[in-house]
Chains A and B, each alone.
Chain A
Amino acid sequence: MSLTEEQIQRYSRNIILEQVGGAGQEKLLASKVLIVGVGGLGSPAALYLAAAGVGTIGLLDGDQVDLTNLQRQIIHHTADVGKRKVVSAKEKIEAVNPDVAVRTYDVWARADSIRDIIREYDFVIDATDNFPAKFLINDVCHFERIPFSHGGILQFEGQLMTIIPGRTACYRCLFPGPPPANAVAPCGQAGVLGVLPGVIGLLQATEAIKYLLGMGGLLTDSLLTYCALTMEFRKVPAQRRADCPLCGPNATITTLRDEGKVVCNRKGCKC
C-alpha cells in the first residue's frame, strides 16, 4: 500500500512524527478497531480514530439516539434523535474521513453474538455503559487473545486500563465479578459531567493508536483513574492475580457467559 497525494496531506501531522512516519500511517490504515458502545466514551474515540486514519472501525451498539445522550455523546447530533446509534455514528465518521471503512453491528453485547465479531479486530475499545458488557468483553478478549482498553465513568470520575490477554492483568484481576445489582448507580441516575467521557474515551483511543503502532508504553498492569473535580490522575498498580477467576492458573471461568441481565427502571435505558 502506498499513500495517495491526498493521504499524505491529510495525515501529514502524523507522518512527520518520528514514531509514526509513512510506515506507521500505512499500518493505521490497515488496522481494525472495534468500539463496543457508541455513547459517551465511544463517540470521541470513534471520531479521533477515524480522523487518525484507522482503516476499519467497527461500531457495536443496539441502541438509538436519545435527547439525553447529546450532552456528552458528541458523535450524535440533534437531528439524529431516534436514529440507530451505529447509523448516526457511521455517517459522521464517513464525513470526517472517507478513508475509513465502517462496519456496523446494531446489536447488544451478548455472549452468543460478540465473539465472532471481536475475533475480526486488532484492538477493542470497551465503551459500554454496564457491568455485564464490561465483563463479557474482558472474557471474550481473553479467550480470543485480542488486546483491549477498559474504560468506565461515574459522575466526575473515570478509569481506564489496557489489557493484553495472557500477558497483563485483566479486568477480573482487579474486579473478579460485577458489583451486586443496584450497588452502583448507573449514569442515568447518578449523573455524569458531559466532558468526562471525552477525557477517558480519548485516552482509550490513544492507547489503541499506541498499541497499533507499537510505540510508547501501554497502560498495562495499572489502572489510571481521573477525577474531574480535583484534576487528579492516579495510576494504581494492578498485577496479574494468581487467583484470577479468568486468567489465573486455576481459572473457574472457562466458557463465555453473560453476567446477569441488565436491569434498569428507566424506559429504554440499558444501564
Chain B
Amino acid sequence: MLTTKVDLRGVPCPLNLVKVKLAIEKTAVGDILEIEIDDGEPIQNLPVSLGRQGQEIVETIKCQGYFRLKVRRRL
C-alpha cells in the first residue's frame, strides 16, 4: 500500500479541494493520501467535502498551526 503526500498549506478553499481531488485521482483505490491543510476554513470544510465524495478520513492529526489528514481512497 502506498502513501502519497500533498502539502496544501496556504492554499485557500475551494482550490484546496480541487487539488485534493486531482491528487485522489492519482491515488489508487485503497491507498492512502496524506494531506496537510491549514487551520480554520480548510479543516472545517475539507473533511466534510471528502466524506461527501465517499472517501474515508483515516486519521486527523493536529500539528502546529495546521492539520495532517490521512485519507483512504474508497472510490
Contact = CB atoms under 8 A, between A and B. Distances in A.
Find out whether A and B make contact in their complex, taking CB atoms under 8 A apart as touching: yes
Contact of A18 (B14, B15, B19, B53): B53
Contacts of A18: 53
Interface string B3-32: 000000000001101110110010000000
B18 A16 contact: yes
A21 interface: yes
B15 A12 contact: yes
Interface in A3-41: 3, 8-9, 12, 15-16, 18, 21-23
Contacts of B25: 21-23
Closest 6 CB pairs of A and B: A12-B18, A22-B22, A22-B25, A15-B18, A16-B18, A21-B25
Interface string B33-69: 0000000000000000000010000000000000000
Contacts of A12: 14-15, 18
A18 B18 CA distance: 11
25 contacts: A3-B22, A8-B15, A8-B18, A8-B19, A8-B22, A9-B15, A9-B18, A12-B14, A12-B15, A12-B18, A15-B18, A15-B21, A15-B22, A16-B14, A16-B17, A16-B18, A16-B21, A18-B53, A21-B21, A21-B22, A21-B25, A22-B21, A22-B22, A22-B25, A23-B25
B73 to A, nearest CB: 13
Contacts of B53: 18
Interface of A: 3, 8-9, 12, 15-16, 18, 21-23
Contacts of B19: 8
Contacts of A15: 18, 21-22
A23 B24 CA distance: 11
A87 B50 CA distance: 45
Contacts of A8: 15, 18-19, 22
A263 to B, nearest CB: 53
Nearest to A12: B18
A208 B68 CA distance: 40
A21 B53 CA distance: 12
Contacts of A9: 15, 18
Contacts of B17: 16
Nearest to A25: B22
A23 B18 CA distance: 13
Contacts of B22: 3, 8, 15, 21-22
A12 B17 CA distance: 9
A211 B56 CA distance: 31
A49 B19 CA distance: 23
B18 to A, nearest CB: 4
Nearest to B20: A16
A185 to B, nearest CB: 49
